[in-house]
Structure 1
Amino acid sequence: MTIPSTMRRWVLGALAATGVAAAVPAMAEDFPDKPVTVTIPFSAGGSHDVNARIFTSILPSYLGQPVVIKLTPGAGGQAGTAAAIKAPADGYSMLFTHSLVDQLQPLVANLPYDTTAALTTVARINTAPAIFYVLADSPWQTIDDLVTYAKENPGELRYAHSGKWGTGFTGGAAVADHYGIEMTYLPYKGGGPMKLAVLSGDADFTLGRPGTIGAEIEAGKVRALLVGADERLPELPDTPTTTELGMPTEAIVMQRIVQVPSDLPEDRMQVLRTAFRELQEDKTYLRMMSQMGENVEYMDGPDYEKLRRQQAESYSALVQALTGQ
């Protein structure tokens, strides 16, 4: 049985008073006893940054220590991933990443690491549908308008993405492949810079996640043309989904996950997993996620690990479809 992290210190004190503390070696370590760092391999202002600022503000209540965010953007998530893999396997360093970086990038890039072997999942935080959008004063009212323009002007539509084979890239590539259009791909270091590129007019088209672009849609600054999901979003009831239009969602819907080096001791892994599990019952956490338009489709680490192995097969088929190889 795993004793909830919030009770750990109290129980240790009680056991010490009775002289039996030595009988619980997994607890005697009192992990964690210093701040825990969450590395995000993307830039400030993106959906991972937004989600992390919510859960890291509440997680200390369940870990008993501060949780610090470290942004390490670059190479579509590869820079931060490499740094997290090199970190000591002591539980004080976690990686907040997503399924495409974890299981798709290794299929298309010559990486100096093997994510499947090097990392193990603590928990899936949620899933993230995509919203494809343009400036509100753009001439494109619908996705069909955008596609018509792209077909009449090959290569002139400028698409902002987060680095080749990052989630921003694969989402746009899936749309382009489905409609048979050519776009100019402009790389940026994450969702925040991608959004700024569209708002400033440096790019015509990109995708975002509900927690990062919802405010701009509500304020009338941008127009949503397409939602990457199986079902329409309640806040965008008139915007069609990729599933409705016959597009696969694997390249578009990402799964946000927290991972640690695979050789983390099991007792420390259980402390982290218990904290994230307890977080799912926290009313403040649930309210803040709802306010940001984010779901809480949580999954325990062991369950996600089973899904993780299946992803490699579906992503392999996706890469073949996009590259012809």
Structure 2
Amino acid sequence: MMKKLAAALAVTGAALTASGATAQSDYPERPITMVIPLGAGGSHDLNARVITSIIPSYLEQAVIVRLSPGAGGQLGTQEVANAPADGYTLLFTHNYIDMLQQHVENLPYNPSEDFVTVARVNYAPIAIAVRADSPYETMDDLIEASRENPGSIQMAHSGNWGALFVPAAQFMQALDMSWNLVPYQGGGPALQALLAGDADVTMGFPSSLGSHLDAGTIRILATAGPERIYDDVPTFSEVGVEGDVGFMHRVVLAPADTPEEALTTLREAFEALGEDTTFNRMMGRLGENIDIITGDEYEAMRAEQSVAYEALVNELTSQ
């Protein structure tokens, strides 16, 4: 009798173990929400639409985009920080919101402790743009006007200490000039302010500027990086702005206590996404690169960013 009982318990335990393993491996069992802490029409919104149109084939569940702009990205970020750590709520953010803002003000969350990397999707060089009918036909024209009348140039950006604000501050510092920096809830609204005539200049990334450039409604005056993106447009280095200025990393984060099984599933899906032919073609149409980095590798980069941004904030705020 005891032997039969022991055997029965062993079978039951094995069944429970198998059931538990099956439950874990079933992730995801329902749609996943990807929160973007920025406004509609910006480069994150456009990139996310491509990501979420392809990655469900590797997760076997829909991924739903939810825009949650406000407070320079803090509103949506806090929303995900407070969400259940079950793999069903993710944050699609960038390096400035993720690792810089903590050095500017006290946040209601700790980005280093409350989030963990799923994947860095890509990085993008920023560009300086004006309307096609702008009197500033070259970067030299804009620099000269900015120096002659400090603060007279209205520069629309995506929020204080965000992806457009920081390179603008670095640009002004490097060239000893001044713009009037006007915040909007994301790169999309900032670009619309430019197109509407409410701003003289803005910055943006290939995915958000490309269609307007093709339509002839904007003009690009300079781009970040050491190499030209457009043959007739100078780089930041060529106009006197050296160093790592104007690069944004687009990264997907999850709440820190998300189960490892869910993180593994998500990371494997993003790695597969990076090899997907359709995804590569659609991102190419946006003018965006693909450079998937998952897990520990980007976690190390986050730590390096934090140190660098602390020094940058101290430098900019000490002026």
Output the TM-score relative to the length of structure 2: 0.92
2:307 match: 313
1:28 match: 23
- Cα displacement (A) at 1:27: 4.0
Matched, 1:256 2:256: no
8 Å contact 2:103–2:310 — kept in the other structure?
yes
Q: Give the counterpart of 2:173 among 168, 173, 177.
A: 177
2:84 match: 88
In the aligned structure 1, how far is the partner of 2:74 from the partner of 2:29? 29
- Further displaced range: 79-88 or 247-256: 247-256
- Cα displacement (A) at 1:255: 0.4
| Consecutive unaligned residues in structure 1, runs of 5 or more | 1-18
8 Å contact 1:210–1:293 — kept in the other structure?
yes
- Further displaced range: 20-29 or 46-55: 20-29
Q: Give the counterpart of 2:261 among 261, 267, 274.
A: 267
2:203 match: 207
* Equivalent runs, 1:33-52 vs 2, <5 Å: 33-52=29-48
Q: Give the counterpart of 1:58 among 47, 54, 69.
A: 54
2:8 match: none
Output the TM-score relative to the length of structure 1: 0.90
- Further displaced range: 243-252 or 81-90: 243-252
In the aligned structure 2, how far is the partner of 1:26 from the partner of 1:255? 35
In the aligned structure 2, how far is the partner of 1:195 from the partner of 1:285? 25
- Cα displacement (A) at 1:26: 3.9
- Alpha-carbon spacing, 1:294–1:24, altered in 2? closer, same or farther (3 Å): farther
Q: Give the counterpart of 1:286 among 277, 280, 287.
A: 280
Matched, 1:115 2:111: yes
Deviations 1:164-206 (A, max 9, x none): 1011111211111111112111110011111111111100001
8 Å contact 1:42–1:74 — kept in the other structure?
yes
In the aligned structure 2, how far is the partner of 1:266 from the partner of 1:258? 15
In the aligned structure 1, how far is the partner of 2:54 from the partner of 2:46? 13
- Cα displacement (A) at 1:25: 4.2
- Alpha-carbon spacing, 1:168–1:28, altered in 2? closer, same or farther (3 Å): same
How many residues are paired up?
Answer: 305
- Paired residue type of 2:310: S
Deviations 1:262-304 (A, max 9, x none): 1111111111111111111111111000011000021122210
8 Å contact 2:55–2:269 — kept in the other structure?
yes
In the aligned structure 2, how far is the partner of 1:198 from the partner of 1:147? 18
- Cα displacement (A) at 1:79: 0.5
1:15 match: none
SS at match of 1:121: strand
- Cα displacement (A) at 1:20: 8.0
1:3 match: none
2:7 match: none
Task: Give the structure with higher Rg (CA).
Answer: 2
Matched, 1:239 2:233: yes
8 Å contact 2:270–2:292 — kept in the other structure?
no
| Consecutive unaligned residues in structure 2, runs of 5 or more | 1-13
In the aligned structure 1, how far is the partner of 2:264 from the partner of 2:276? 19
- Cα displacement (A) at 1:229: 2.1
In the aligned structure 1, how far is the partner of 2:303 from the partner of 2:257? 18
Deviations 1:138-162 (A, max 9, x none): 1111111101101111111000011
- Cα displacement (A) at 1:41: 0.2
8 Å contact 1:39–1:95 — kept in the other structure?
yes
8 Å contact 2:175–2:241 — kept in the other structure?
no
CA RMSD of aligned residues (A): 1.6
- Cα displacement (A) at 1:251: 4.7
